[in-house]
């Protein structure tokens, strides 16, 4: 893509702009421990970037019933909000600078996140970033979660910007697949090991948001 044509940049949230994935994993470890299950954090890697429905099924494998899963999820959500209030959730390196660079260069800015609206908005507001986003679509506002392209298509529809003048920034395999299926140019800033079977070569990888910012602006 010619950067001079770029009008819209759409960010994933968890793991891309905010270092929240490790907080989610630690939360699940603590919650499952309270139910008598000793589980290593690595088990939850498969939950990264996935829908709540998908992730609830993984938790159900340990707890056995939907009622206990919802109870455990409520506790895990409280764990996250507590971490957010105590400032133990951090922005990814270069996230604020990247958003400000996009803003000051006149780009429209969107977010497409699997997080539900309550949590996603709380996170953005905690870091005083919500005001920079023109378009926000959350996981509870679409019928199909990533890797389905619906969430990215909805941001594009809201913005009224051609896919050829837009790009996405992602950190997970499911997010990559979602953005690619929507027809977007995708910049990949991975967090940890990520399975990319079948989609290699369809995007550009960056070591950090700082590196991406330097290339774009």
Domain ranges of the chain: 3-19+90-216, 21-85
Half-sphere exposure of 137 (CA within 13 A, CB side): 21
40 or 61, greater pLDDT: 61
User: Which residues make beta-bridge pairs with 9?
Assistant: 109, 167
Q: Are 144 and 150 in contact (CB under 8 A)?
A: yes
Q: Is the pLDDT assigned to residue 84 strictly greater than 80?
A: yes
Q: What CA–CA distance (Å, rounded) separates 55 from 69?
A: 10
- Of 1-5, 51-55, 119-123, least confident by mean pLDDT is 1-5
Q: What CA–CA distance (Å, rounded) separates 82 from 116?
A: 17
Predicted model pTM: 0.92
Q: Considering only the C-alpha atoms of the chain, give the largest distance between any 2 of them, rounded to a whole number of Å.
A: 55
Tokens read off for 68: 């206990």
Assign 152 to helix, strand or coil. helix
Query: pLDDT tens for residues 165-199?
Result: 999 999 998 999 999 999 999 999 998 767 676 78
* Confidence band of 19 (pLDDT split at 50, 70, 90): very high
Q: Are 10 and 113 in contact (CB under 8 A)?
A: no
pLDDT number for residue 29: 93
The CATH number of 3-19+90-216 is 3.40.50.1000
């Amino acid at each position: 893509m010619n950067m001079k044509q770029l009008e819209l940049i759409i960010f994933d949230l968890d793991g891309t702009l905010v270092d929240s994935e490790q907080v989610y994993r630690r939360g699940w470890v603590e919650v499952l421990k309270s139910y008598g299950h000793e589980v290593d954090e690595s088990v939850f890697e498969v939950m990264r970037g996935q829908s709540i429905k998908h992730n609830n099924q993984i938790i159900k494998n340990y707890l056995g019933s939907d009622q206990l899963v919802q109870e455990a999820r409520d506790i895990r959500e409280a764990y996250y909000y507590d971490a957010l209030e105590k400032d133990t959730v951090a922005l990814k390196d270069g996230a604020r600078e990247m958003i400000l660079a996009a803003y000051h260069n006149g780009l429209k800015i969107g977010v497409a996140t699997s997080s539900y609206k309550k949590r996603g908005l709380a996170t953005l507001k905690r870091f005083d970033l919500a005001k920079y986003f023109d378009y926000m679509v959350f996981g509870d506002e679409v019928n199909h979660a990533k890797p389905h392209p619906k969430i990215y298509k909805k941001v594009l529809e809201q913005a009224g910007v051609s896919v050829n003048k837009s790009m996405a920034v992602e950190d997970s395999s499911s997010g990559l697949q979602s953005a690619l299926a929507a027809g977007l140019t995708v910049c990949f800033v991975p967090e940890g090991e990520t399975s990319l079977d079948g989609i290699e070569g369809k995007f550009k990888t960056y070591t950090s948001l700082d590196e991406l910012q330097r290339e774009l602006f």
